[in-house]
Amino acid sequence: MTQQNVVVSDTKSGVSLSVFPTASQKPPGGGYISIPRRRILKNLEINGGQRINAWVESMRASSPTHLKSTTPSLPEEHNSWILRHPSALDMFDQIIEASNGKQIVMFLDYDGTLSPIVEDPDRAFMSDSMRKTVRKVARCFPTAIVTGRCKDKVYNFVRLAELYYAGSHGMDIKGPTRSSKYNKDGKAETVLFQAASDFLPMIDEVYQQLVDKTKPTSGAMVENNKFCLSVHFRCVDEKKWSELARQVKSVLKDYPKLRLTQGRKVLEIRPTIKWDKGKALEFLLESLGLANCSDVFPVYIGDDRSDEDAFKKLKDRGQGFGILVSKFPKDTSASYSLQEPNEVMRFLQRLVEWKHVSLGARSRV
């Protein structure tokens, strides 16, 4: 406790008070007020119990298999969802028609979109056929991978130098290292943008604490994604989820500058900066000189909650659309759906085939 920051929300006044033991630990843009430590601890205890239950409920809600076993989605519910979010494969011709005369730009999430979800995050490999397909896509359209993963780690999975990569939920962006027709002067390792560099020491510190704290919970795994962290609970017995939530919370309570979000059986910890996959999408469009064009058609494919920021951004811009990869009805701002990575691959293949046919037709004119 002595080494860390503490935040207490005063629900009556709506004011958050934070304490930093030394000036050097105060992050940029501070503005914190010192209050007696005894009062802080008392407030944390009062708020603690309720929030753990909320966390566990949320962990359950984010698990589609749990949803399936307890509240099977009724056929009518599924049908009405599919009517609102039809298959991007079934709607392929309409999608192409909507993109007519516009520059398609592809944004692809990684886990659950290009690679199937597996128990061990370090073994979430992408198939060779998916890699070949993504390579072909990148020859036809500017293409970016947008992921919660550390940028270098996802690059090791994808291994295509002609792509843009936005790692750590878009907080670490890099352009292609191999030149393509969309990046004629691609230079090795050009970092385009790092939104949260100031947070690196804090993220490393919290990573170590989370590793130590969660050690007793069998199956828990902490992943360092450079500018953010993931605490995986896919292999943790559901009876131990509240124990895990308590461990994570006991670390995070001392870091008011970090926030917690959730993905598929994963707790995600990231800086409280206004940056997400939607902002990364906008940044990449700007880098491509397409942000202010009316004739750009961005397509974002993703499977998880963090992808919703990008789907929403496209809706707000009124350009292109999002495709949610899911077998289950979910609240989403995406317009279309695909069930699994294999369907994503078929959709991408059709896009490439269409592009080749349309280029061939144009060259014959």
Ligand X SMILES: O=P(O)(O)OC[C@H]1O[C@H](O[C@H]2O[C@H](CO)[C@@H](O)[C@H](O)[C@H]2O)[C@H](O)[C@@H](O)[C@@H]1O
Catalog residues that contact ligand X under the rule CB under 6 A. 109-112, 117-119, 121, 124, 147-149, 223, 225, 230, 232, 234, 263-266, 268, 304, 306
Closer CB to ligand X, residue 19 or residue 150? Answer: 150
- Report the residue count for the chain: 365
Least Å distance, CB 115 to ligand X, is: 6
Least Å distance, CB 101 to ligand X, is: 31
Alpha-carbon gap, residue 136 to 139, rounded angstroms? 5
Least Å distance, CB 225 to ligand X, is: 5
Closer CB to ligand X, residue 5 or residue 332? Answer: 332
Alpha-carbon gap, residue 195 to 193, rounded angstroms? 6
Least Å distance, CB 169 to ligand X, is: 7
Closer CB to ligand X, residue 149 or residue 253? Answer: 149
The pair phi, psi for residue 356, each rounded to 5°, is -65, -45
Least Å distance, CB 14 to ligand X, is: 31
Class of residue 273 by CB neighbours under 10 A (exposed 0-12, middle 13-18, buried 19+): middle
Q: Which of 212, 220, 206 is nearest to 254 (CA)?
A: 206
Closer CB to ligand X, residue 6 or residue 88? Answer: 88
Alpha-carbon gap, residue 324 to 178, rounded angstroms? 29
Closer CB to ligand X, residue 126 or residue 352? Answer: 126
Helix (H) or strand (E) holding 109: none
Residue with tokens 């943790």: 236
Q: Two tokens at 234?
A: 């896919």
Closer CB to ligand X, residue 145 or residue 351? Answer: 145
Q: Give 164's DSSP letter.
A: E
Residue 197 C-beta-side C-alpha neighbours within 13 Å: 5
Least Å distance, CB 93 to ligand X, is: 29
